[in-house]
Amino acid sequence: MVKYFLGQSVLRSSWDQVFAAFWQRYPNPYSKHVLTEDIVHREVTPDQKLLSRRLLTKTNRMPRWAERLFPANVAHSVYILEDSIVDPQNQTMTTFTWNINHARLMVVEERCVYCVNSDNSGWTEIRREAWVSSSLFGVSRAVQEFGLARFKSNVTKTMKGFEYILAKLQGTEWVFQASSEASLLLFAAGEAPSRTLVETAKEAKEKAKETALAATEKAKDLANKAATKQQQQLV
């Protein structure tokens, strides 16, 4: 059995604003559980789509009854892989996330689609799906119920964090921290960036190499195994 979640949210900001805020939403007061974020791959495809893979580390306190099932030295941090596809021409962004450790206890897979709201072109709609599963014999149902409840709580925090960053960016007249994201945003808005997309992608790749070195070897191995499994499921 798998617990399924389907939800829809609306941010009262344009798609290009949400797109820019997406890359800058950490840290914020509602995401203290997010410890690190690293770009491990990024490229601009021939059809002008931005593909990214990020590795995030989050704290994940287990319920007390679950802590008794695992050794005391088991890490409480969770490694999350996030794949994203940005289509600036059609103004859509699709993200896929899943945890790559503690998978025996619980796996949470999420798919989000960000697009222009059909009722108001100045707003952004988010369609969110999630699948919560567990392979623990005898207690899988309880684990899934706990995971679903936590996921719903985290969605609320995610939306509050998004709104906080959007308000902050709008108050600073869209002064971006990363030039690569800024150039891609200009491209999405149909304006001419100061550098070509090839140059932007090259810089992003160099940055990706540097940040990838900072990730632990264990996380890299887990990421590769999880990526292979995810690709097989999508085929």
Segment 133-142, tens digit of pLDDT: 998 888 889 8
- List the helix and strand counts (H, then E) for the chain: 6, 7
State pTM to two decimals. 0.73
Residue 60: phi and psi, rounded to 5, are -150, 80
Average pLDDT of the segment spanning 120-146? 92
Most confident of 25-29, 180-184, 224-228: 25-29
Most confident of 58-72, 141-155, 217-231: 141-155
- Residues 187-214, buried b or exposed e (16+ Cβ, 10 A)? bbbeeebeeebeebbebbeeebeebbee
